[in-house]
Amino acid sequence: MRPNAAKLALVSIVLALQVSCASQDKLQDEKAMPPADKIVAIGCIGSTDDATRQTVKRLLEDKGMWVGFSGSVVYYVLVDKQSAQVAQDYLKASGELKGKWIQYYNLKNAFPETLDVKSLAEALLKVDPWPDRSTNYSEANWKALVSIAKLIQRSDPRTVSEALQKYQTEQVSNSVQEIHNDSKLYLLMRVVFELPEHASNDANWSSFGCWLTMKTEYNNDGTINRAWPIAWNHGNPCLVSGCLGIQGFGRYGRYGAADEFLYFRSKCAFRDLSSFK
């Protein structure tokens, strides 16, 4: 991304945070958010527990940081590299945050790349669809998915969302080919994001396509693999189920990759793909 574009991305994020917090009357009265040109990074911590959010707020304010709320997310604004590292180390070590997710955005180098629908479509040509009723998926396919996932993680999320939406709109619209193309995106989102593989049956977890599971998303201990149909072992993926079909296609119940990308981005951290071999 060009320097001016990176600066605009930073300003737009800061403005969105200011508006979101202000709309819920959550801005601190005694301390205004630092101006965009002074901000090194914005971190965010997601928790549905208000007590945890208040504890995090107190911990960070004690460190002299600006803190704001937006929904279930606590945002903290950092104005120098030292405070950025202190915040990361401090929060990760805090017992108050056990089991919570943490994301960190280095906004001085925000969104170094963009993703357009042509690049996405060309990259997905190297990826086979999720195989029908089979868990046999080649190493070349996983490498191709990881490569695309890394690009998505580096890209402006707005361009990713637009590319996903345009890709689905522009693909051949017969039902079989549509499902095959959509299945590539479904696997891709589960490579991009770190999804819990042993989760409780949370009714608040949203779904963006009625993929048939035949209960194969359940683990032996009764927990749910939210990364289904993928399981991860020391940074390496494998399929635990082949594609069993989807209820609905076209205008009726089609999988929404762009919406799922934005939803996962609001709830989950990017997957660390550095250990993939």
Prior bond of 229 cis (ω within 30°): yes
What are 53-100's pLDDT values in tens digits? 677 777 777 767 777 665 555 666 655 555 555 555 555 555 444 444
CA dist 106 and 125 (Å) reads: 32
Residue from 94, 95, 30, 104 nearest 73 by CA: 104
Q: What is the token pair recorded at 274?
A: 């550095």
Average pLDDT over residues 119-123: 94
CB–CB of 209/253 below 8 Å? yes
**Domains along the chain?**
3-109 (3.30.70.860), 117-267 (no CATH)
**SS3 (DSSP) at 260:** helix
Residue 183 confidence (pLDDT) above 60: yes
Question: Token pair 């925000």 is at which residue?
Answer: 110
CA of residue 56 relative to chain centroid, distance:
22
CA dist 172 and 169 (Å) reads: 8
CA dist 139 and 56 (Å) reads: 42
Beta bridge partners of 243: 132
What are 2-48's pLDDT values in tens digits? 334 444 444 444 444 454 444 444 444 345 666 655 665 566 666 66
The residue among 206 and 36 whose pLDDT is bigger is 206
Residue from 153, 109, 117, 154 nearest 9 by CA: 109
Residue 257 confidence (pLDDT) above 70: yes
CB–CB of 33/14 below 8 Å? yes
Question: Token pair 């600006």 is at which residue?
Answer: 66
CB–CB of 56/74 below 8 Å? yes
Q: What is the largest CA-CA distance in the chain?
A: 59
Which of these ranges, 50-54, 92-96, 227-231, 273-277, has the smallest mean pLDDT?
Answer: 92-96
pLDDT of residue 190: 98
CA dist 184 and 211 (Å) reads: 13
CB–CB of 37/63 below 8 Å? no
pLDDT band at 1 (very low <50, low <70, confident <90, very high): very low
Average pLDDT over residues 112-124: 87
What are 160-181's pLDDT values in tens digits? 999 999 999 887 667 888 899 9
